Structure 1
Amino acid sequence: MQALRAEDPEELGGHRLLARLGAGGMGVVYLARTADGSLVALKVIRAEYAADPGFRARFRREVRLATGLAGRWVVAVTAADTEAREPWLATAFVPGPSLAEAVDGLGPLPADTVVTLGAQLASALGELHAVGLVHRDVKPGNILLVPDGPRLIDFGIAKGVGTTALTAPDAVVGTPGYLSPEQTRARGGEVGPASDLFSLGCVLAYTATGHRPFGTGEAPAVLYRTVHEPHAPTGLAQLPPLLRTVIDTCLAKDPALRPTAAEVHSALTDNNPSTAPDWLPPPVLRLVAERSARALDPPPRTAGPPASLSAPTAQGFSRRRILTIGGSAAAVLAASGTGAVVLLARGHPTTSGTHHDVPTHTLALHVDLTGAQKILGKAQMQGALLAVAAHNARKDINYRLALVSYDDGGDAAQARTTAHRVLAQPSVIAVIGPSTPAGARAAAPLYAAASMPVVLVSAADDAAGLSTTTLRTLCVTRRSDSSRTLPILFYLTRTRPSHRTAVIQDGAGGETAVDITRNLVETPPSGGTVTVHQVAATTSDFGPAVSRALTARPQAVVYGGTSPRRAAACARALATARFTGAVTGFEPVMRAEFLTAAGRAAEGWVFEAPYTEAQSATAPAARAFTAAFRARFGEQPGQWSAEAYDAVGLIGRALDALGTTTAIQPAQVAERLFHTAYDGVAKPIRFVQGSTHALDPENTGFLYQVRDGEFRFLGRYDQVRAVQS
């Protein structure tokens, strides 16, 4: 839960807005209170999407569908306005965590809980099927847990019985791992109620064992196992026979052999009639209580952008203002077994009187300074040094910052050793880094086990195989790779609208390509249509796929893949076909190899990226940062340097909130970080309130375009209004 911002309305449709529950590219979800005092979740769609007739028609359909569902285990619609400039939909507020959050964070749930969950979800599906609907995306993330039972949400892709695929015949709609075999191979064919029962079996197996019945990994492999292999028995043998039988029958490959929702409900309630309020285990109830309490005491509205660390100026960091820890007049880089220590303070502490008695808080910078990613590590070190200087140069500070740099060489084993060295230093109150996915994967669990806050700047948590739900002190300030489609979606909806979009799904891109395709299919740019055209990993000829794509006269083409060389082949095929619409791709393609291999065919391509280019940005804070960086280091800011600067600022904001005491513990800093909002040089940093501690991805991505054979920075995706075609 986040505070309302200055631009948020006071009320909407008779609802008083209290806080933000979440936000994305399509709109914002608010916590609101009705005139009679009831709490609701109010979903508002941005005007630019609602302006599209097709999108508005789909929103009307969603409202009509959800309004017609009145069962106990579905979330009721309380009000809506489908004709407003920014249409909205209000539903009863459910303060509980999702089933995914509960199991990922707390482990498998007790068998009795799973039996009750299965019976009540079967009841919900039975009500849905009775009115001729199939949910088609029954998964843990779409199930909320509260004391009186679960709630099934998100009917965005629900369809009538017999309805075919939403877009292209070769598009897969739903979530791999919970899809039925017929959804996986339907290709436009019928998907009936039995499909939801298969998904229910997957959900119950996951809830009872903590394992997906068809494993994890790249989506194509999961889908293949779903269709062709039996479900994994991991943990199922220990379940009560009744529950095991229900799961096994639901997971039958043949839809005709699966039970109906009514049969599952009957099987699970005949021997378990109780639906007592204590069906959830205590840890889950604590999550519900925590969220309920926050709903009753929402954060106050922010009057404007939060104050940040003082923006540096070009004059602010001359060498004579860099002082030693003890107050002498020379800059100190004290190399020791614990790393390189730098303390920067404004004025002579022994004579100014302002800083004489303030405590010092030490930050550890854990980066690759000598390995394959040493250039990025150096840039982050420079950005962090500049931020420390910005803090220590402020008047009337309550504490100084010290920075300790550690090099892990980008090696996993060395990263673990480095983490132990950092943790051996009692003065360290927070860690910035590691800077590489391998380092983060190795070291972050060690920091979390010691309750040490670890702020990831450049390593994505999902790419490193980490979870902010299970690692409670892991603070990720870079948006996850799973959110990479948001800037492209925004660009093709607002900046260069595309109502017909073609995705070239590169089979060599593995799970990343599948995720890109699924996200764009489920949320089409401009609310339009998306067609998907696959290229096998075994071929480098993109011509046939491009030809098929262009038959639908797309206004934009998205390369769904990660290979610079293969993206160049796609670019050449599009140029040969004389395609003149928008062409977009993703950051892994932004390499010199793409420019070289594609040549003139690369011109005009637009890419998303998770990092800024401060020297090309126009915001005052970015200009001040760039000037100070040049003055201090004699060069332009490097990639991720501004983000590292902001990481120090975020930690500083958390320390400010904790007060001036010298007894601040790392665990206190970790807890405070996730309740801290910070408008940085690069982007706004805000976190989703709840058990996930995830970064709010809204407005945290950037766009670049190929111009004259170079990647040119366009800006933060929500601030780019027009681009050169």
Structure 2
Amino acid sequence: MQALRAEDPEHLGGHRLLARLGAGGMGVVYLARTGEGTPVALKVIRAEYAADPAFRARFRREVRLATGLTGRWVVAVTAADTEAREPWLATAFVPGPSLAEAVDGLGRFPSAAVCALGARLAEALDELHAVDLVHRDVKPGNILLVPDGPRLIDFGIAKGAGATALTAPDAIVGTPGYLSPEQARTRGGAIGPASDLFSLGCVLAYAATGRRPFGTGEAPAVLYRTVHEAPDLTGLGQLPPPLRAVIDGCLNKDPARRPTAAEVRAALTDDRHRGGSLPPAPDWLPPVVLRLVAERSARALDPPPRTAGPEPLDTPTAQGMSRRRILSVGGSAAAVLAASGTGAAVLLTRGRTASSGSQGTLPTRTLALHADLTGAQKALGQGQERGARLAVAAHNARADIGYRLALASYDDGGDAARARDIARRVVSARSVSAVIGPSTTACARAAAPLYAAASLPVVLVSADDDAAGLSTASLRTLCVTRASGSSRTLPVLFYLTRSRSSSRTAVIQDRAAGETAVDIARNLVATPPSGGTVTVHQVGSGEADFGPVVAQALAARPQAVVYGGTSPRRAAACARALAEARFAGAVTGFEPVMRAEFLTAAGRAAEGWVLEAPYTQAQSEHTAAARAFTAAYRTRYGAVPGPWSAEAYDAVGLIARAIDALGTTGTIEPAQVAERLFHTSYTGVAKPIRFEAGATHAMDPANTAFLYQVKEGAFRFLGRYDQVD
């Protein structure tokens, strides 16, 4: 919740506006009160979107559908003006978090809570289906949690059963991972109530396990699994039989074999309540979620005062201190000053920086770097911190800037619980424009949902969103600037097509790597190098001898072999077996193998292996930007840049480019920065960064990964995969 700005109206449609609940590219959501004092959430749409007839038609429909619903578990529209230049609607204010925020940030729900959740959502869907409406986007982000039960929101893409959605003819309506197989196949056509039940099954499985039943990653991969593969129901074995049966039934691929909403409600409800609306369930939420609801309810009763104009730069408090947060010239601030060559003391505030430099007073935008700086992966985190600090210093040294950057570092030590605590501290500080990190997978899984729930842009530099189980489709401010695991085969495919053309390729699928090995084999079979053929040869996770599987693979007379695994030790065993068989073709693998253990265990057998990696080696690049970055890094730190340093440098540049596009004066909300990021292209030291259009706003993986080759017992940088001859 943030203070109203000077340009915000005081009243709208008989409502008194109190605070901003959120803002983005589409518009602003306000906390407001009716004339009777009832709090509401009032959504105002920007005029440029309302000018689109199709968009306005969709908005009218959302209002009409939501106004006609009266059930306890749906959020009612209390007022609206669909014809205003900037149309708006008001709904009952629900102070609770979304199910996505609660589960991603606080963990899975106990089975009793999942039963209550399922019964009440089924009652809400039963009301929709009774009037021939299909919601079409039942997902954790559209479910709000309050003490008496859940609330189903967002009827913007709901429609009559059999009607046509107001989207492009080939558009998929819904959220990958929660939409039904028929939604994925039909692309805008007729969808029935059973589709909502499939989505409900996905939601309940997620609430019970904390995992998406069809995984995460790029939308096409999730859609493929939804249509063609069984859901991952690991962890559901301990659920009560009625709940497990409901989830299994809802996730049936055949719509005709799924239960109805009424049947789900009956299966999860005490017999006494099957004839009417379910009563409130005050004890259904875990205590940690109830505390979050209480905190937000209290904040709604005490909204921040409106700012009269541009935010005061230094308003003294009763203690004589500035309203702004003062960062001492020590720790992270001292490093920023040292990197930029400024020796005077500086007060780093959100509104300005007072310094003795020639630039005078300028607004300051603070970036948080969240990384493992002291734990097992401290080298990775420290490299990112150094790269980010160099970027901040380079920005502040320019003569044409309209604002300064400040970097505040936070060390989670590689501990997920600590990462969550840091995320809460950063969010509560309210002074950060964007977060870079966390740097490790486990900490990204723990903290990124909390940042996204607070509408803070969180830029993942090194952590793989696939491995972390994070979705850019559901976490709307999650910005991933590295190639995800789902696209790891692209550089290998390119190499074996252009650099070492292979019309016959053998994949050794190491089952010890689990789903990763399956994905590697599947992707290469679907898109074979050089348009040729691919054979797949599996080795069991308990098998240490790779001789038999290598002999089987070489019987197909391949020109290239791909090790589809993640273990350096097992990759070394594969390398030795290939060397013993005197295989002379190309051998490729993937970044997890790039460890000293592989080189030591494989010895001479590793020579020539080519490995994909999502990070560059800036000191080996030949571009002017890479040379300048490497020189600055050497001067400041007395070493060559480590892995992910250049990528962190580029993350700062990307954020700065987004802020530049929003204007360099006045208040800029973090949500605005997040929205702008996905419309920003940036060619950095490491690679070009572009984002795909659409709901997933994933990074375009083209030309964003690199190749290394083992030469003389070391990993030698070859270059960006599309530039390797």
Task: Give the TM-score of the pair, scaled to structure 1.
Answer: 0.59
Q: Deviations over 1:270-310 (max 9, x none)?
A: xxxxxxxxxxxxxxxxxxxxxxxxxxxxxxxxxxxxxxxxx
> What residue in structure 1 maps to residue 128 of structure 2?
none
Name the residue aligned to 1:334.
330
Indicate conservation of the 8 Å contact 2:194/2:255, yes or no. no
Among 424, 427, 434, the residue aligned to 1:430: 434
- 8 A Cα contact 1:202 1:212, kept in partner: no
Q: 1:224: Cα distance to partner?
A: 10
2:249–2:257 contact (8 Å) kept in structure 1: no
Tell whether the 8 Å contact from 1:201 to 1:247 is kept in structure 2 after alignment: no
Q: Counterparts of 1:492-571 in structure 2 under 5 Å? A: 492-571=496-575
Identity of aligned residues (%): 64
Q: Is the 8 A contact 1:205 1:212 kept in 2?
A: no
**Structure-2 separation of matches of 1:435 and 1:209:** 33
* Shift in CA distance, 529/351, structure 1 to aligned 2, threshold 3 Å: closer
Contact 1:345 1:400 in 2 (8 A): no
The one of 390, 395, 406 aligned to 1:391? 395
Q: Structure 1 residues 545-554 or 420-429, which shifts more?
A: 420-429
Shift, 1:342, TM fit = 3.1
Aligned-partner Cα distance in 2 for 1:630–1:530: 45
Counterpart for residue 661 of structure 1: 665
Alignment CA distance shift 1:527-1:587 (3 Å) = same
Is there any run of 5+ residues in structure 1 with no aligned partner, and where? 1-98, 119-123, 125-137, 151-199, 249-325
Superposition pairs of residues 364-513 of structure 1, within 5 angstroms: 364-513=368-517
Query: Relative contact order: is structure 1 or structure 2 higher (C-alpha 8 Å, sep ≥ 6)?
Result: 1
How many Å apart are 1:422 and its aligned residue?
Answer: 1.2
Cα distance in 1, alignment partners of residues 616 and 213 from structure 2: 36
Question: In the alignment, which of 201, 226, 235 is matched to residue 209 of structure 1?
Answer: 201
Any idea what SS the aligned residue of 1:233 has? helix
Q: Between Structure 1 and Structure 2, how many residues are aligned?
A: 470
Task: Write the deviation string for residues 451-497 of structure 1: whole angstroms up to 9, x where unpaired.
Answer: 11111100011111111111111111011111100000100011111
What is the CA-CA distance between 1:636 and the residue it aligns to? 0.7
CA–CA distance in 2 between the matches of 1:460 and 1:401? Answer: 26
Select which of 717, 720, 725 maps to 2:721: 717
Structure 1 letter corresponding to 2:187: L
- Asked whether the equivalents of residues 606 and 706 of structure 1 are also in contact (C-alpha less than 8 Å), the reply is yes
Q: Determine the structure 1 residue equivalent to 2:708.
A: 704
Query: Tell me, what secondary structure is at the counterpart of 1:475?
Result: strand
Q: Closer, same or farther in 2 for the Cα pair 1:112/1:346, shift >3 Å?
A: closer
Q: Cα gap change, 1:640/1:333 in structure 2, threshold over 3 Å: closer, same or farther?
A: farther
Distance 1:341-1:470 versus aligned 2 partners, 3 A rule: farther
Match of 2:361 in 1: 357
Residue in structure 2 matching 1:143, options 180, 185, 189: 185
- How many Å separate the matches in 1 of 2:521 and 2:720? 23
Change (3 A) 1:385 1:141: farther
Q: CA deviation at 1:425?
A: 2.1
Q: Secondary structure at the match of 1:430?
A: strand
Match of 1:259 in 2: none
Residue deviations 1:89-126, cap 9 Å, x none? Answer: xxxxxxxxxx99986876899999797599xxxxx9xx
In 1: Cα distance, 2:372 partner to 2:232 partner: 38
- Tell whether the 8 Å contact from 1:237 to 1:244 is kept in structure 2 after alignment: no
Alignment check: 8 A CA contact 1:346 1:394 kept: no
The Cα shift of 1:335 comes to 3.9
Instruction: Choose from 223, 228, 233 the match for 2:245.
Output: 233
Instruction: Note the alpha carbon deviations across 1:489-526, whole angstroms, 9 max, x for none.
Output: 10001111110000000111101000100000111111
Match runs of 1:582-597 below 5 Å: 582-597=586-601
Q: What's the offset of the Cα at 1:210?
A: 2.7
Cross-structure match for 2:635: 631
Q: Match of 1:233, as an amino acid?
A: A
Distance 1:620 1:638 in 2: 18
- Per-residue deviation, 1:662: 3.0
Residues 369 and 558 (structure 1), Cα distance of their counterparts in 2 relative to 1, 3 Å cut? same
Cα shift at 1:201: 14
| C-alpha contact (below 8 Å) 1:454/1:473 kept by paired residues | yes
Residues in 1 aligned to 2:718 and 2:253: alpha-carbon distance in whole angstroms: 59
Cα pair distance change 1:393/1:340, threshold 3 Å: closer
Instruction: Report the Cα offset of residue 427 of structure 1.
Output: 2.1
Cα RMSD after superposing both structures = 4.0
- Residue 401 (structure 1) shift: 0.4
Q: Check the 8 A contact 1:363/1:403 in 2, yes or no.
A: yes
How far residue 143 of structure 1 moved from its aligned partner, in angstroms, is 3.1
SS in structure 2 opposite 1:552? coil
Q: Is the 8 A contact 2:202 2:213 kept in 1?
A: no
How far did 1:661 drift? 1.7
Distance 1:519 1:149, change over 3 A: same
Q: Aligned to 2:674, what secondary structure does the other structure show? A: helix
- 2:73 corresponds in structure 1 to none
Q: How does 1:5-404 map to 2 (within 5 A)?
A: 116=162, 142-143=184-185, 145-146=187-188, 149=190, 206-207=198-199, 209-210=201-202, 215-216=213-214, 233-235=245-247, 245-247=256-258, 333-335=329-331, 342-343=336-337, 355-404=359-408
Stretches of structure 2 lacking an aligned partner (at least 5 in a row): 1-134, 144-151, 165-169, 171-179, 206-211, 217-224, 260-321, 345-352
Rounded to whole Å, the distance in 1 between the matches of 2:542 and 2:617 is 36
C-alpha contact 1:332 1:342 (8 A) present in aligned 2 = no
Question: Quick one: distance in 1 between partners of 2:544 and 2:422?
Answer: 42
SS in 1 for 2:362: coil
Q: Distance in 1 between matches of 2:517 and 2:161?
A: 36
- The structure-2 alpha-carbon separation of the partners of 1:142 and 1:350, relative to structure 1 and needing over 3 Å to count, comes to closer
State how far apart, in whole Å, the 2-side matches of 1:100 and 1:503 are.
Answer: 40
**Is the 8 Å Cα contact of residues 101 and 692 (structure 1) preserved in structure 2?**
no
Letter in 1 for 2:202: G
* CA separation of 1:341 and 1:427: change in aligned 2, threshold 3 A: farther
Indicate conservation of the 8 Å contact 1:366/1:433, yes or no. yes
Change (3 A) 1:638 1:114: farther
Q: Does the residue aligned with 1:463 lie in a helix, a strand or coil?
A: helix
- Whole-Å Cα distance in 2 between the matches of residues 205 and 524 of structure 1? 38
Change (3 A) 1:459 1:350: closer
The answer (yes or no) to whether the contact 2:250–2:258 under 8 Å persists in 1 is: no
- Structure 1 residues 140, 653: CA separation in 2 closer, same or farther (over 3 Å shift)? farther
CA distance in 2, matches of 1:599, 1:413: 40
Q: Which residue of 2 aligns with 1:575?
A: 579
